Amino acid sequence: MYGDGSRTKLNSHLLLWPVAILAVGLGLGFIVGAKGFLINYIPEKTIETIAGKRLPPDGVDFSPVWNAWQIIDDKFVPAAVATSTPIATTTKASNDERVWGMVTGLAGALNDPYTYFLPPAENKQFADDMSGSFEGVGMEIAVRDQVLTVVSPLKGSPAEKAGIKSGDKIFKIDGLETKGIDISVAVRHIRGPHDTVVTLSVLREGWTASREFKVTRDVINIPTITTKALPDGVFVIQLMTFGAQSPSLFRNALREFAESGDTKLILDLRGNPGGYLEAAVDMASWFLPSGKVIVTEDFAGHAQNIVHRSRGYNIFNQNLRMIILVDRGSASASEILADALRYYEKAEIVGVPTFGKGSVQELIDVTPETAIKITIARWLGPDGKQIPTTGLIPDVEAKMSDEDVKAKNDPQMDKAVELLK
């Protein structure tokens, strides 16, 4: 009997502890941070300060910065101003812009596509995104090999409807060249009010030239989980993101699976760009004994490594057969979950190589209005190896062509079902 008083027969041939799935879930605490990043630990360092302000580090010569600042004050004339009237180049607003530009360059000097500075407008925009809905085209982007790349369009989003796919390379946004563009700047240009249009120049693997996609912006509500029962005892759970509510929603989906009488599970992580680490750990715990290593955060000596282990819900027995579907849009937490379940021989992976995001980011305030998103650690799988930047290689390769998409065929799902028969 469930907490709501209903009585349902569970699949005892599949579950080790049929009641565990009812008792565990919403009451469990898990740590969350900004969307797509986990705030587990902020390494504390002793930094000399005067009146609460940090001093420049020893051995760093800041004189070129101040020399350049003075030259700008003394010499700069905006080219677009057609007047001989003296113009004040030093104002509070202009000084702030210079400082934000310097911090942007400082973050960019690390040559890490996941580390960047968020000035006031971009930081507010990022905070607005945390509400779970925003206006835009609905896709996750990143810089890969210095090229603006689509990690994944969200299911049902304007980007997906327009034909944007994981792995697409964006070379222009409304005519603006994206070579060397800061990720926050790219987001600002792609985002916009609903019912407005953004034109993206996209190059896809196999194309000889870029093509233009006109995407009409809309209000984006981030989806989470869908379930579907297929013939021959196959049950599908599609997980679109690892959000704050994902653990409880996943628990409900597993309950539905257990009640269905099916013993074959397909976990569809295609197009899932990741999210909260703790959500991935919680989900893996349904299939693993207590204490099994799921993932380790390696701080490279800056702090003690953090090992995330299974919480030991482990409700399924050896009768469970599971396939995990992945593609180039499967990243971060998706890769952690898939890697762990494959390592412990709980599932096979089917599809194409994943995105390859083996690092941890944290959002840290620089000022009350600005922040820096910075890589603070690397993901190490249960085998102690970093998730490769080339992505996880599936056990069974199954591709999906543009023609398949147009014809609404799904050869990857078909392959997963075939393997479970």
CA distance 382 to 307: 10
Domain identity same for 215 and 259: no
Q: 329 and 346 in one domain?
A: yes
Q: Are 143 and 161 in contact (CB under 8 A)?
A: no
Query: Does residue 174 lie in a domain region?
Result: yes
Mean pLDDT value across residues 19-29:
27
CATH code of residue 408: 3.90.226.10
Question: Taken in order 5, 9, 15, 17, is the CA torsion positive or negative?
Answer: positive
- Helix axes 277-285 and 246-260, enclosed angle (nearest 10): 20
Question: Which pLDDT does position 144 carry in this prediction?
Answer: 84
Question: Is 100 inside any structural domain?
Answer: no
Structural domains counted in the chain: 2
Residue 295 pLDDT? 97
261 shares its domain with 337:
yes
Burial zone of 282 (CB within 10 Å; 0-12 exposed, 13-18 middle, 19+ buried): buried
For 168-177, 340-349, 360-369, which range has the lowest pLDDT when averaged over its residues? 360-369
User: pLDDT by residue (tens digit) across 311-328?
Assistant: 999 999 999 999 999 999
188 and 308 both lie in a single domain: no
Mean pLDDT to the nearest integer, 335-340: 98
Last-in-domain residue among 202, 221, 240? 221
- More confident position, 8 or 407: 407
Strand partners, 172: 177, 201
* Shared-domain flag, residues 275 and 395: yes
**214, 232: one domain:** no
pTM for this structure?
0.76
Burial class (CB in 10 A: 0-12, 13-18, 19+), 188: middle
Q: Are residues 259 and 401 in the same domain?
A: yes
Look-up of token digits 């399924």: 316
Does residue 206 fall inside a structural domain? yes
Q: Which of 221, 246, 269 is the last residue of a domain?
A: 221
pLDDT at 6 over 60: no
Question: CB neighbours of 197 closer than 8 A, spacing ≥ 6?
Answer: 214, 215, 216, 217
The more confidently predicted of residues 244 and 235 is: 235
* pLDDT tens column, 358-400: 888 888 999 999 999 999 999 999 999 998 999 999 999 999 9
Distance from the first to the final alpha carbon of the chain:
32
Strand, coil or helix: 201: strand
Burial class (CB in 10 A: 0-12, 13-18, 19+), 48: exposed
Separation CA 278–CA 284 (nearest Å):
10
Are 191 and 125 in contact by the 8 Å Cβ rule? The answer is: yes
> 383 and 415 share a domain?
yes
- Euclidean distance between CA atoms 145 and 138, whole angstroms: 22
Greater confidence (376 vs 55) lies with: 376
Q: pLDDT at residue 211 above 90?
A: yes
Structural domain including 394 reads: 20-27+223-360+374-420
Contact 189, 222 (CB under 8 A): no
Among 73-77, 136-140, 225-229, which stretch is predicted with the lowest mean pLDDT? 73-77
Q: Is 70 domain-assigned?
A: no
Least confident segment among 54-58, 143-147, 397-401: 54-58
Q: Is residue 293 part of a domain?
A: yes
Q: What angle do CA 312, 276, 178 make, to 5 degrees?
A: 150
> Residue 270 pLDDT more than 70?
yes
The CATH number linked to 165 is 2.30.42.10
Mean pLDDT computed over every residue of the chain: 84
- 384 lies in some domain: yes
Of 190, 221, 252, which closes a domain? 221
